[in-house]
Chains A and B, each alone.
Chain A
């Protein structure tokens, strides 16, 4: 579990350590953008841009979906946790904890 988290963090930091990739994340956030359109904006080959997108995909920052012949890249902001999402995650933990309390208390009734 810890190892997995560390690996995820490594992938995330490596993915964002490159200026082009940070730029890609910004550009594909929201609506998303086809890889072709994206590649047209950079002074590098389509294959090179595709490679950057693949790194971002592996880090879980970008997902691709096929629309007709186009590959649309879309930024996943999940790994970049927002305060809202963190509070929501913590809330889930609390729901579990409250369930454990309820469980413990119901246990008395059944035992008694």
Chain B
């Protein structure tokens, strides 16, 4: 399994995931730098993601929507605060309306992604700090919950294609 460690901090509403990939960090970075790759990994197959704007630089925005099986769209956006190519990505993740304006009433989260080179590839550390428990709840209720079995099916699909 590529996930090697996870940490929860209930006090600070922080979730940290550590993963290792057998690819150089420049390649892992590309997953985030290329909107077509980002949308392949962001949402579960039942809630496919579509990246609209993609400006991966400090002050830039990445906007996306996820489509439910019923065709309902859930919009989100990242506001990039720090970008260190191949090494670090920091952003605020917000819920957005259909015009990609931040929904102020919905709590967001602060994310820091770090990529370090290892002997065998890349160690990625994904840290998300939620503004409030409601933010956490909303993320879950966006329906992304459905992912688990779908993702397994998608892996099978990918293997079958290769």
Spell out A's residues near B (CB within 8 Å).
Answer: 1-3, 5, 81, 83-84, 86-111
> Could you tell me if A96 and B137 are in contact, using CB atoms closer than 8 angstroms?
no
In chain B, residues 127-152, which have Cβ atoms closer than 8 Å to a Cβ of chain A? 128, 133, 136-137, 139-141, 143-148, 151
Known: A5-B143, A98-B124, A101-B28. 11 other contacts (CB 8 A): A2-B68, A86-B140, A91-B6, A93-B144, A93-B147, A95-B6, A98-B2, A99-B155, A100-B40, A102-B19, A108-B27
- A interface secondary structure, majority: helix
Q: With A103-B155, A110-B162 in contact, do A91 and B41 touch (Cβ < 8 Å)? A: no
Tell me the number of A-to-B contacts counted with CB atoms below 8 Å.
110
Q: Which 3 A-B pairs have the closest CB atoms?
A: A96-B151, A102-B2, A100-B41
Tell me whether B160 is interfacial, beta carbon within 8 Å: no
User: How far is A83 from B9 in the complex, measured between Cα atoms in Å?
Assistant: 9
In the complex, what residues of B have CB within 8 A of residue A91's CB? 6, 8, 15, 17
Number of interface residues of B (CB under 8 A): 46
Closest CB of chain B to A83's CB: distance in Å?
5
Closest CB of chain A to B132's CB: distance in Å?
10
